[in-house]
Structure 1
Amino acid sequence: MTSAPMSGRKAQAARNDELILQAARAVFTADPGAPIAAVAERAGVGISALYRRYPSKEALLQKLCGDGLRLYIEVSERALADDGDPWEAFAGYLRGIVDADSSSLTIKLAGTFTPSEELFPLSGRASELAVEVHRRAVAAGVLRPDVTVADIALLFEQIASIKLGGEERVWELRHRYLALAMDALRVPPAHRELPGPAPRDEELAARWVPRT
C-alpha cells in the first residue's frame, strides 16, 4: 500500500522544512551564535515561513539535535542487526556515524541551548547502543580492549573537525582518516591502502587565505 501524494501546499511545506533544516545545520555548525534570520536567508525562505515551523532558534536547534540522535540510533541498530563478520559490522557502524556527521552538532551546539524533554530518552538510547556496539566488538576480539566508548566518541569528533576544500573533499578526507584510525583500532592491526589522496600543500595553505 502506497501513501497518497501530498497536496501542492503540503509538498511545498515539506520542501521548505527540508531546506530550513539543511540551512540551519550549515549555519549553526559554522557559527552557533548566528541569528535565525541567517537560516532563512540561506534556505531562501521568508522569515515568517521559518517561524511558522520553528517558533524560536532554540526549537530549531532542538530539532537538529533530535534528528542527529535518531540517525545515530538508526546506524547503531543496523550495526547490531548485522550477524556477519564482527569487524565489518563495527566498521560499518564507524563509517555510518561519520557519514551521519552527528558529531559536528556535538562539537558546535553542545551547551548552546536547553534540551527538550524529547531529547533525553533519545540521548539515553544512543548511549546504550554505543556501549553495546563497543561491547560486542571487544567480545568478538576484533576491537582493542583498551579502547573505550569515550575514545570512540572523541575519535568521531576529531574526524568531524576535518573541513578542507569543498563538501566532496571533506567527506573524502574524513574517510581517509577514519580508515587510518580503524587500522589502529583493529585486532590484529591492519595495514590497508588508505582511501583518497592525502591533503596537498596548497589545500592546507588555502585555509589561511582571507575569506571575502
Structure 2
Amino acid sequence: MSQFNFFEKNQAFDENNFEQKLQDAINLIKKNQSFVARLVLDAINSNQVTLSTFFQLTPNHYQRTKTIMRKDYHTTLPNTFPPTISAVRKIEKELDGIIYDNQHIYISSTKSVEEIAKTLIHEVCHFLNSDLYDKEMETEESKQVGYKDEVRAFTAEKMFEKNKGYLLRSDINQIHETVTELYPEFTDPENPISGYIYSTFDSPS
C-alpha cells in the first residue's frame, strides 16, 4: 500500500500514528458509496500510486517542492536533505498533498483521518485523469488545462462528500469558485471556462 523509505528516524514524526491514520482514511473510502471512491480504492490497492508523507520526499521531488514553495508561497526551504523537520512543517502548512509524475503522492502527516481521505480522493483523481490531462496539453493553453484538472479533482472530492448523492448546480459553482480562489494563475478573464463540468475517472492507459 504505502511505500515508506525513511532516510532518518525522526522523533518529531510518529510513523505508526500516520500509518494508522492512513489506514483509517482508506477504510473511510471503502465505506463510501460513490463510484469515484471505488476507483480510487482500486488504484491504491493495485499499487498504481505510492502514498508517503512529505518527510519521505525523494531528492528530485524535494527540489521540485522547493521550487513550488518559493514560487507559490514565497517560502525558501533549506538545501539540507533529507528535509528537516522545520522544512516539512513549512510544506505541510501550505500543502495538504501533492502528486508527482502521475504516481507518487505525498500527504501532510498533520491532517485528520477525514482530511487525509479527501486528499487521497483529490490526488488519486489527478492520476486517474492523467491521460486526459496529457491530451489536453497537446491542444489547449496550459493554464486552462491546469484549471480543468483541478475542477475534476475537486469534483471528485464533492462526489465523495455526497456519498452517492447527486451533485447540484450549486456544487459545481462552488467548485469553480474554489479553484479560481486557490489557483488564480489558472484563470483567464479573456477565456473563462467556469461552465466546465466534464470529468472522467478512467484509469490511464
TM-score (norm 1): 0.31
Larger RCO (CA within 8 A; separation ≥ 6): 2
Higher share in strand: 2
- Give the number of the structure whose alpha-carbon radius of gyration is greater: 1
Higher share in helix: 1
TM-score (norm 2): 0.32
